[in-house]
Amino acid sequence: MSFWEKLVHFVSQSAGNVLSGVVEAVRTLFEGDPETRRQVAFSVSLIALSAKMAKADGFVTMEEVAAFHEIFEIPEEERVNVARLYNLARQDIAGYDAYARKLKGLCSDGEEGCPLLEEVIDGLFHIAKADGSIHEKELDFLAHVAEIFGISEARFQTICARHMDMGDRDPYGVLGVSRNDDFKTIRSRYRALVAENHPDRLIARGVPKEFHAAANDRMARINAAYEAIERELKAA
């Protein structure tokens, strides 16, 4: 029996409380293996919260489904189990704020400023924008989940800028810098982002390899932002 089969079976036996079943299943199935548990917690969080985001938005587009599969590269034989978990979360009467609070604890183990939680938000943005735009209800959902996760407004705006046209905050907003910063500060920030998004660093903080397609998209935006700022400052 695969992990996904075990997880869905565990949740299905949890007396209708899908959220508690998911959290308890991940903790029970991976007790003593914190590295794998972090990766599974990330995947489960993204699946469950994307289901809740779809419910808040009111519909799921084919593009969003495609983006979901792009992130996870789910083996064909496991797609039925992942879809079952998604549907269980979507139909659960618990609100998405309850999911966000429980999943925060599952991913971070009480750690404040947990980088893995920012990766969850980034993944949700990747799915939300797949149909060409991020709708108002989706943005409200993402902002509230980020607040529950303890992600600062400044960090949330930086994530927004990677996925949305933020006007005069773009490309500076993508790097999380100010137009008043000197080039040395901007370059230092860029190098820090490159290091943070190295595949080895992503794996170390619990991001599964299957998610690297979205991480590659993020890195492309960071590179493009830095190049745009560099051209602008050289031309000044």
Give pLDDT, residue 3.
61
One DSSP character per residue, 83-111 reads HHHHHHHHH-SS-HHHHHHHHHHHHHTT-
Give pLDDT, residue 170.
77
Q: What is the pLDDT of residues 108-128, one digit of tens each?
A: 766 666 788 888 898 899 888
Residues of the chain below pLDDT 70? 1-4, 6, 10-17, 59-61, 70-75, 109-113, 165-169, 205-206, 208-214, 236
Residue 128 CA to residue 135 CA, distance in Å, equals 8
How many CB atoms sit inside 10 A of residue 122's CB?
Answer: 20
How many CB atoms sit inside 10 A of residue 16's CB?
Answer: 10
Give pLDDT, residue 142.
95
Give pLDDT, residue 13.
64
Give pLDDT, residue 151.
92
Q: 168: exposed, middle or buried (C-beta count within 10 Å: 0-12, 13-18, 19+)?
A: exposed
CA distances from 89 to 94, 142, 185 (A): 9, 17, 43
Give pLDDT, residue 210.
61
Q: And the tokens for 173?
A: 């907003």
